Structures are given as structure tokens and as C-alpha cells.
Amino acid sequence: MAGSVLVVGLGGTIAMTSTAGGGVAPKLSAQQLVDAVPGLAATGIEVQATTFLNRPGASLGVGDLVELVRIIEASSAAGIVVVQGTDTIEESSYVLDLLHGGDRPVVVTGAMRNPTQAGADGPANLLAAVVIAASPEARGLGCLVVMADEIHAARRVRKGHSTSTAAFASPNGGVLGYLVEGRARFVNRVDGRIRVPLPVGSPSVGVCVATLGDDGATVGVLAERLDGLVVAGFGAGHVPEGWVDGLTAAAKRIPVVLASRTGAGPVLRETYGFAGSERDLLGRGLISSGYLDAYKARVLLHLTLAAGFDRERIAATFAVAGNG
Ligand code: ASP
């Protein structure tokens, strides 16, 4: 196997070492991470490394990822690997999927165990990510997340465990493939990838989660301060009856997207008829997120607003992106 891959370091557990004050914090460069991977030279893949940031995943922002897209676009490598904190991979990978043009693979990876721990998973994840980024089969699939030898579509992947090395899953539709005997094996496809132009604004977009007995006061206050709101409803897209008037008013002023807080499965359209049901809310002007979970929906709403899309275009974009 040959090809060239650029590894861009953003920080995260994979790059963390012990600090004088206790605990671990990001410190290692992308080159140090690459140098620590056994078996990388034997792949024949030409690897270059650059450290863009060294931060925990929690402190990355959309602006950082826009800069990263520019780094990716300026590179002539056949594939790109982004190394970052796993805490925000499910969102950052979707930002990259939406913003990066072209067919070159962009593969995001990280580690659940830091390099000071027994069984640190960083080197294996980085090796797998480099191999997949160099694979012709990965071209045209947008941004992929590779963890624990599994290949996930950015649009579907979720972090479902706070510590396990098997923390990542794609509950809607399953993984796209695996790393097997040092090669990418794709067993599944995802269609209908969309792209959004680079941001020209920085809207304020929030997520409000429906919870048992919530009287709707918080969602009302929140909606007044935002340019776009994602509601993570119960089940197939339901909220307490007391939220309905506030959401109806909000949807007249800003785009309000209805997602499910469950983390898998779609928002329904025409099943339930009670006040606060998905039928009721969609009829009042909320936009369905379809299969996109609330965090992905927030990414898409943020980027479409930032690109200057109006409500109609945002709704049309969600209809495609939320389709599975
Ligand atoms: N636990 C996180 C990680 O896996 C920390 C972070 O996101 O920076 O990298």
C-alpha cells in the first residue's frame, strides 16, 4: 500500500501526558504521536504530521474547524487524519463532513486511554486512521471516524460511553466498515451527503432537552436569546404540553428543529396527535431533524445559519441530511 497522508493534531487524550499539578493534559505533538505508532513505516504510506492545536476536545470550536478545513484544502496529501479529543468527535467530524469539499478522505480519530495508561488505544487508532485515509475505497465518503478498528460515517457516529475503548457506535444504520488485517473493509454505504458553504456569520444556536415535568420556562427564555434552537424531544419527537405555545412563538421568529433525545431512530411525522406530539409540533412550523440526533442537528443548524440560509432553505437541507 502507498499514498500520502497528512496527520493534523488538535490535542485530546491521545496527546496527553502527566502534568505537575496532577492529571493529564494535551502536550504531545502530532509528530510525536506518529513516531510512537508501531508498524506505521511497514505500511509504506508516506506520513507528514503537523500540530494545529493542543487542546481538550471540550475547548474546540467551529471557528477552529473552519481553520482546519483551510489546512486540509491547502494540503496535497491523498488523505487527511485529524487527531483530537474524543469528547467532541461526534460533532467536529460532522462539521468537517459538511464543510470539506472534494473526495479526499478525512478521517478523525483519538483515544480513550491516554499514553500513560496500560493498553493505551491511541497508537492502534492512529495506525488504522492512516491506513483508511490512504485507502482508495474511502474516497468520496466524506468525513469518517475511526476508533477501535471500526469505520463510522460522521453523520451517524455517537460517543456512547465515557471511558470504554468501544465508546463509539453508529446506532442508525451501523458501521461503514472495519480495519481487517491492515486493510479497510467497507460493508455498508451512506448516501445523500450534503455540503454547506463556509460560514460568513456566527449564529447562536442552542439545544434544549425535554425532561419529565419541565414547565417550559427554560426553553422560552433560551429561545429568546438564540438565532436557532434544537429541541431534543422525548421518543419520536414529543415535548410536554406546556412547551407548545412557547415553541410555536419561537418557530415564528427563528428556525426551531425537532430531534429525539433517545440517540437513535427518526423523528416521526404523522403518528401521534396529542398537544406536544411530533405531528402537532411540525404543524406549528418546527423543522424535523429526521435521523439526525440533537447534536448533529445543532451542527447543521449552526452551519446553515452561519452560511446565511433562510428558513426554507434550512428546512430543505434538513429534509436531505436527515434522511438516514
Ligand atoms: N476524554 C477525552 C478524549 O478522549 C478528552 C478530550 O476530549 O480532550 O480525548
Q: Residue 195 domain-assigned?
A: no
| 133 and 254 both lie in a single domain | no
Same domain, yes or no: 160 and 214: no
Query: Are 167 and 26 part of one and the same domain?
Result: yes
Regarding whether 231 and 102 lie in a shared domain, the answer is: no
Within a domain: 289: yes
Distance 147 CA to ligand 1 centre (A): 13
Task: Give how many domains the chain has, as a whole number.
Answer: 2
Q: Where are the alpha helices (DSSP H) in 36-165?
A: 62-74, 89-99, 122-133
Are 267 and 155 part of one and the same domain?
no
Tell whether 134 and 26 lie within a shared domain. yes
Span from the CA of 213 to the centroid of ligand 1 (angstroms): 33
Co-location of 138 and 223 in the same domain: no
Q: Which residues line ligand 1 (CB under 6 A)?
A: 12-13, 56-58, 85-87, 110, 112
**Which positions are catalytic?**
13
Q: Which pLDDT value is given to residue 3?
A: 80
Looking at the fold, whether 66 and 144 belong to one and the same domain comes out as yes
For ligand 1, what atom is nearest to the CA of residue 87? 7
198 is a domain residue: no
266 plus 134 within the same structural domain: no
Among residues 136, 156, 186, which one ends one of the domains?
186
pLDDT at 2 (0 to 100)? 55
114 CA → ligand 1 middle, Å? 9
**Cα–Cα separations (whole angstroms), residue 259 to 162, 228, 255, 308:** 22, 13, 13, 22
Pocket perturbation via mutation, ligand 1, pick of 82, 86, 145 by most ligand atoms within 8 A of CB: 86
Its sign, for the CA torsion 308, 314, 316, 319, is positive
- Residue partners of 192: CB distance under 8 A and separation at least 6: 320, 321, 323, 324
- Whether residue 69 is found in the same domain as residue 167: yes
The neighbouring-strand residues paired with 179 are: 184
Whole-angstrom Cα distance, residue 101 to residue 196?
A: 9
Q: What is the CATH number of the domain that holds 82?
A: 3.40.50.1170
Ligand 1, atom 4, residue with closest C-alpha: 86
pLDDT of residue 191: 86
What's the Rg (C-alpha) of the chain? Answer: 20
CA-CA-CA-CA dihedral for 168, 193, 61, 247, to nearest 10? -90
Q: How many CA within 13 A on the CB side of residue 17?
A: 6
- pTM for the model: 0.97
Q: Cα(95) to centroid of ligand 1, in Å? A: 18
Please give the pLDDT value at position 82. Answer: 98
Q: Which of 27, 55, 87 to mutate to test the pocket of ligand 1 (most atoms within 8 A of CB)?
A: 87
- DSSP letters, 52-69, are EEEE-GGG--HHHHHHHH
pLDDT of residue 1: 47
Same domain, 133 and 13: yes
**Residue of the nearest CA to atom 9 in ligand 1?**
85
Considering the domain boundaries, does residue 193 fall inside one? no
Q: Which atom of ligand 1 is nearest to the CA of 11?
A: 8
Position 200 in a domain: no
Q: What atom of ligand 1 comes closest to residue 162's alpha carbon?
A: 1
Q: Are residues 117 and 221 in the same domain?
A: no
Ligand 1: residue whose CA is nearest its atom 7: 85
Give the domain extent around 221: 205-321
85 CA from centroid of ligand 1 (Å): 4
Q: How many CA atoms lie within 13 A of 181 on its CB side?
A: 0
- Domain-ending residue, one of 117, 152, 186: 186
Q: How confident is the prediction along the chain (324 residues), in pLDDT tens digits per residue? A: 458 999 999 999 999 999 999 999 999 999 999 999 999 999 999 999 999 999 999 999 999 999 999 999 999 999 999 999 999 999 999 999 999 989 999 999 999 999 999 999 999 999 999 999 999 999 999 999 999 999 999 999 999 999 999 999 999 999 999 999 999 999 999 988 999 999 999 999 999 999 999 999 999 999 999 999 999 999 999 999 999 999 999 999 999 999 999 999 999 999 999 999 999 999 999 999 999 999 999 999 999 999 999 999 999 999 999 998
175: in domain: yes
Short-list 194, 88, 190, CA closest to 144: 190
**Do the domain assignments include residue 192?**
no
Of 47, 54, 2, 4, the closest CA to residue 25 belongs to: 54
- 302 is a domain residue: yes
